[in-house]
Amino acid sequence: MNIDFGTTEKVIGIDLGTTNSLAAFLDLTGPKIIPGADGDKLVPSVVSISPSGEVVVGNAARELLITQPGRTVYSVKRLMGRGLDDIQEELKLFPFHLASGSESVLQLQIGDRTYTPPEISALILRQLKQNAEAYFGEPVSKAVITVPAYFNDAQRQATKDAGRIAGLEVLRLVNEPTAASLAYGLDKRENGTIAVYDLGGGTFDISILKLHDGIFEVLATNGDTHLGGDDIDNLLLRIALEDVQGEWGEDLAGDSEGVQRVRRAVIQAKERLSFVPFTDISLEYRGNKYQREIQRELFDKLIAPIVDRTLGPCRDCIKDAGVTPEQIDEVVMVGGSTRIPLVRTAVENLFRSKPHTELNPDEVVALGAAVQAAILSGDVADKLLLDVTPLSLGIETMGGVVSKLIHRNSTIPASATESFTTGVDGQRNVLIHVVQGERELVKDNRSLARFDLKDIDPMPAGLARIEVRFLIDANGILNVTARDLRTGKEHSIDVKPSYGLTDEQVEKMIQESFEKAEQDFQERQVREARVEADTILAAVEKARRHDAYFELSDDERSAMDRAINELLLVYHSEDHHLILNKNEQLNQVTMKLAENMMNTAVRGALKGTKI
């Protein structure tokens, strides 16, 4: 890989995930994750909005999921580009509610405001953008964002809308499996066939890629945008809620805070079972305690149907790629859910080879996105990625039948042209109905757009010649042009999916982000100062129970109490300088306590040791 870093503006790679999101960049030593202000590389894809309109993203928002569940949104990726009928099952488990009038564009009701899924995703992207700007010390306005390979046109368009609202120029949407192959350095092979199995929080993807002389070509892709680790969490959640109802005689299903506490307990148990043979699901809530031991053997039986659901798309993908499992040279595992031993075993058995699990599965996609960002910025000159369109695209013809112009797994950018005619004598207008899917009848596929080609020459049925051209750009976004070959009249549109945002909505959101930029920045500074205060106050409270605290003089303890009270008095102030000043004062007066605790710890460590 030839890397040439000049004075070009930095382009970051972003993995906008269901559970966590990350940003990364490429330097001379390779791709690296950009840490946030708290030092964490992962930014939980959680957004909380206070009654005053303050926006909190990431770890702090995840904590608020317990106490303010109705104001906190998670797993929004599962709602991107989807309609009301698509998300009925999710709504039963989400604590947030839809606003009225959400049939065409989903709108979440948070307090007295409504937010679309792209707006919520934009808040996550804006946080990643701010993290990158703080890390580099310069503005960042361009990004590559990854999407599941099986995302349809509506979901891809919604992701691009989110980037625009966040103030990012999205240079390209790249399929997550394609990015993962770069992160694993598989481009160093001369040739080979690679399978990328990606099981994340809300989506599952399988892709078969062929590497030939530095060019990655996606031979086939498959998956399920409604399958992931969230389904395992929800399965365990339902079981735990039934247990709790049996033991406590109380149904927590309608208690948002109770449900979120149970959810956290089952997620922690699920994560531990990837490394230990058994663990407990345990929680305390409102004076009641629930505890249940769960063995990995039972866990595997419970989740086996979910894991099996990933294997069907894998077999279909292998068949579509025209290869056998034995012809696949490398298997890469991506996504946090691939830590589960049963998942790894199932994949190894299907592909008959041990998969790559060396890299952190949460970071793989973002690292690959950074390499793709460098390719598009011109910093990497000798690599080329060819993605594919995940679903076929066509138009409705007579009888409600689909005529496919661009077939599934066609390499993008792609274009196709086909001629059609009229079905009625003297017809002046032709309705072009664009659909996406694999079924033969229009009613069984997703409707993307409708438009009229008007004022064509009236002719007997079957004599007019209408040319329809489909063009898919590098992001997988579709442009459709219809042209009357006799008169030259044409109509062209960028297909706006049924559940996307209008240009006016997107522009309004962008304008709002500009108008409120200063206010947002000030609120961010105050929030960060309060987070620092919370950390210090919690540490001091814990230290006051330590023996070292009682070694302080009365004056020293009094000074500490005064500093704590002064910090608490300004804690809710909107002046972040004032809060930071009191944070520093409390830090200063607790220096002696910290030294005493260190000395006590050292004495304890050396006790009984001969030097």
- Asked which of 3-7, 96-100, 263-267 is least confident by mean pLDDT, the reply is 3-7
Per the residue annotation, which of 15, 233, 330, 532 is the catalytic one? 15
Spatial separation of the C-alpha atoms in residues 114 and 111, rounded to whole Å: 8
Which pLDDT belongs to residue 388?
A: 63
Per the residue annotation, which of 119, 161, 176, 523 is the catalytic one? 176
Which pLDDT belongs to residue 213?
A: 65
pLDDT at 606 over 60: no
Computed over every residue of the chain, the mean pLDDT equals 83
Spatial separation of the C-alpha atoms in residues 297 and 218, rounded to whole Å: 37
Please say if 198 is a catalytic residue: yes
Residues 444-456: tens digit of each pLDDT:
777 777 777 787 8
Please say if 176 is a catalytic residue: yes
Task: Evaluate whether 146 touches 175 at the Cβ level (below 8 Å).
Answer: yes
Residue 391 sits at the vertex; the CA angle it makes with 390 and 395, to the nearest 5 degrees, is 150
Average pLDDT over residues 332-352: 93
Average pLDDT over residues 527-553: 83
3-class DSSP state of 276 = coil
> In this structure, how many other beta carbons lie within 10 angstroms of the beta carbon of residue 572?
9
Which pLDDT belongs to residue 563?
A: 92
Residues 229-243: tens digit of each pLDDT:
889 999 999 999 999
Residues 199-211: tens digit of each pLDDT:
988 778 898 988 7
Which pLDDT belongs to residue 53?
A: 81
- At 296, the pLDDT band (50, 70, 90 cuts) reads very high
- Asked which of 6-10, 108-112, 357-361, 592-596 is least confident by mean pLDDT, the reply is 6-10
- At 39, the pLDDT band (50, 70, 90 cuts) reads confident
pLDDT at 500 over 70: no
- At 610, the pLDDT band (50, 70, 90 cuts) reads very low
- At 287, the pLDDT band (50, 70, 90 cuts) reads confident
pLDDT at 3 over 70: no
Q: Which residues contact 147 (CB under 8 A, 6 or more apart)?
A: 16, 155, 156, 159, 173, 174, 175, 176
- At 593, the pLDDT band (50, 70, 90 cuts) reads confident
Task: Evaluate whether 33 touches 363 at the Cβ level (below 8 Å).
Answer: yes
- At 303, the pLDDT band (50, 70, 90 cuts) reads very high
Query: 520 is written with which tokens?
Result: 């947002």
Q: Which residues pair with 290 in a beta bridge?
A: 283
Please say if 205 is a catalytic residue: no
DSSP secondary structure code for residue 379 in this structure: S
By percentage, how much of the chain surpasses pLDDT 70?
86
Average pLDDT over residues 319-337: 91
Average pLDDT over residues 574-592: 90
Average pLDDT over residues 166-192: 79
CA distances from 505 to 8, 67, 524 (A): 32, 31, 25
Burial 289-316 (b: 16+ CB within 10 A, else e): ebebebebeebbeebeebbeebeebbee
Which pLDDT belongs to residue 516?
A: 66
- What length is written for the chain? 611
Task: Evaluate whether 144 touches 376 at the Cβ level (below 8 Å).
Answer: yes
Q: Which residues contact 439 (CB under 8 A, 6 or more apart)?
A: 402, 445
Please say if 496 is a catalytic residue: no
Per the residue annotation, which of 10, 41, 77, 496 is the catalytic one? 77
The amino acid present at 208, given as its one-letter code, is: I
Per the residue annotation, which of 198, 224, 484, 532 is the catalytic one? 198
pLDDT at 168 over 70: yes
- At 102, the pLDDT band (50, 70, 90 cuts) reads low
Which pLDDT belongs to residue 299?
A: 94
Which pLDDT belongs to residue 509?
A: 55
* Identity of the highest mean pLDDT range in 103-117, 135-149, 168-182, 372-386: 135-149
Spatial separation of the C-alpha atoms in residues 163 and 406, rounded to whole Å: 27
Which pLDDT belongs to residue 16?
A: 95
Spatial separation of the C-alpha atoms in residues 308 and 373, rounded to whole Å: 34
Question: What DSSP letter does each residue of 387-418 carry, written as one string?
Answer: EE-SS-EEEEETTTEEEEEE-TT-EESEEEEE
Mind listing the domains of the chain with CATH numbers?
A: 11-227+305-386 (3.30.420.40), 229-303 (3.90.640.10), 393-500 (2.60.34.10), 517-606 (1.20.1270.10)
* Continuous segment of H or E residues that includes residue 466: strand 466-472
By percentage, how much of the chain surpasses pLDDT 90?
28
Which pLDDT belongs to residue 327?
A: 92
Q: Which residues pair with 396 in a beta bridge?
A: 402
